[in-house]
Amino acid sequence: MKFLDQAKVYVKSGDGGSGCASFRREKFIEFGGPDGGDGGRGGDVIVECVDALNTLIDFRYQQHFRAQNGRPGMGRNMTGAGGQDIVLRVPVGTQIWDEDYETLLADMTEPGQRVVLAKGGDGGFGNTRYKTSTNQAPRKHTPGWPGTEMWIWLRLKLIADAGLVGLPNAGKSTFLAAVTEAKPKIADYPFTTLHPGLGVVRIDDDELVLADIPGLIEGAHEGAGLGDRFLGHVERCAAILHLVDGTGDNPIEAWRTVRAELEAYDEDLAAKPEILAINKIDAMPEEDVQALKELFVEETGLEPLAISGASGAGTRDVLRRIMELVRARRQADRGRVDDDDSEAEAGEATWTP
């Protein structure tokens, strides 16, 4: 299945049905009076979050979604049928933005979450509604209210506990394949990873989801290479694993390049906890690895770990460091949920009608 993480679609809720102007005309009933029914309500546009999807590719082949209009009212006080809702099913982690891409309408983060994006128009009134003691034969009836139409952006941001960043050919895909059951494309040329990939890491009787995104190069925030749009998939992560190719020409400058792109994309993303790891130590003499670690401490103030995705050396230590940060994030999230629940219960206890 092809990966697509952004789509622009048009949605329109159903129009309400028109009210009916009708009068009873039955044998032996001299004064029948009005009996026009109301129009039916238009259908809603609903967005539902489902767990079985991981791409927005379905919205490439269909970009227009319209809910059904309400049916008009009829005589004998019959109300028109309501229009059928239309449901857009999106993956977990999908954000819904207004057409200007500045207003966030909804953030779909839980399976089963449903949001009414556009409500259907109300049905019009039939002439029965306007019957009074002084106007016993009204001919007034109203049309239904129009539905809501809009263009929206769907943006998928994968739900992962930790993200892999680095320059192209830093060994991110090799690392992902070594520590998970994922099978990313691995080759000896840049930009072998064209789409984000996910893998489940099992370490010390616990699990975390690791996201691999395409490599960043200098100027990615200006569109160089594959750009920096894929960084959205690590915005929700608890930690970032920054891989640096230890066999490269200038590993420290490579680290600085990626850090600059993270800061240019989003300061909050750049402020996330970062674990720095020197990769490909299997192709380096031990003394060079130690010298590079000392140079990183001197130049950046960070103490990197030394790993090899190809041989597996040092990977468990890195995973345990990541797991510590993920557990801390989960505990903090649970604490916020408990605080919200406590505030809600306190509010219910003190409320008086």
Whether residue 75 contacts residue 37, with contact meaning beta carbons closer than 8 Å, is answered with: yes
**19 pLDDT band (50/70/90 cuts)?**
very high
Distance from C-alpha of 47 to C-alpha of 53, rounded to nearest angstrom = 14
Pick the CATH number of 6-130+145-156 from 2.40.50.220, 2.70.210.12, 1.20.58.110, 2.40.30.10: 2.70.210.12
Question: In this predicted structure, what is the pLDDT of residue 347?
Answer: 55
The percent of residues above 90 in pLDDT, for the chain, comes to 51
Q: Would you call 173 helix, strand, or coil by DSSP?
A: helix
User: For the whole model, what pTM was predicted?
Assistant: 0.78
Helix, strand, coil: what percent of the chain each, to 5?
30, 25, 50
Q: Give me the pLDDT at residue 192, please.
A: 76
Average pLDDT over residues 103-132: 94
Between 176 and 1, name the one with better pLDDT: 176
Distance CA 69, CA 222 (A): 45
92 has pLDDT over 70:
yes
Give the residue ranges of the annotated binding site for GTP: 166-173, 191-195, 212-215, 279-282, 308-310
| Other CB atoms within 10 Å distance of the CB of residue 312 | 13
Token pair of 54, please? Answer: 């991981």
Q: Higher confidence at residue 199 or residue 120?
A: 120
Residue 170 is predicted with a pLDDT of: 87
Please check the confidence at residue 94 and state whether its pLDDT lies above 70.
yes
Q: What residue ranges do the domains of the chain occupy?
A: 6-130+145-156, 162-333
Q: What is the mean pLDDT of the segment spanning 304-319? A: 90
What is the 8-class DSSP label of residue 243? Answer: E
Give the per-residue pLDDT at 346.
54
Q: What is the pLDDT averaged over residues 94-117? A: 93
Mean pLDDT of 237-255: 90
- pLDDT on residue 348: 54
Cβ-in-10-Å burial (0-12, 13-18, 19+) of 131 comes to middle
More confident residue, 151 or 25: 151
Q: Please tell me the distance from the alpha carbon of residue 230 to that of residue 190, in angstroms, as a whole number.
A: 16
Tell me what the mean pLDDT of segment 6-29 comes to: 92
| Predicted local distance difference test score (pLDDT) of residue 86 | 96
Within 10 angstroms of residue 67's Cβ, the number of other Cβ atoms is 26
Residues annotated as binding site?
166-173, 191-195, 212-215, 279-282, 308-310
Q: What is the mean pLDDT of residues 240-263?
A: 91
Query: How far from 173 is each of 164, 168, 217, 248, CA to CA, in Å?
Result: 9, 10, 16, 17
The lowest-confidence range among 26-35, 36-45, 285-294, 299-308 is 26-35
Q: What is residue 351's predicted lDDT score, i.e. its pLDDT? A: 46
The torsion angle over the Cα atoms of residues 337, 341, 342 and 344, rounded to 10 degrees, is 140
pLDDT at 249 over 50: yes
Residue-averaged pLDDT of the chain:
88
What pLDDT digit, counting tens, does each position of 192-244 carry? 777 788 888 888 888 888 988 888 888 887 777 777 778 888 888 999 999 99
Model pLDDT, residue 41: 96
pLDDT at 144: 95
Q: How many residues does the chain have?
A: 353
Residue ranges for the binding site for Mg(2+)?
Answer: 173, 193
Average pLDDT over residues 99-106: 92
Q: Which CATH superfamily is domain 162-333 in?
A: P-loop containing nucleotide triphosphate hydrolases (3.40.50.300)
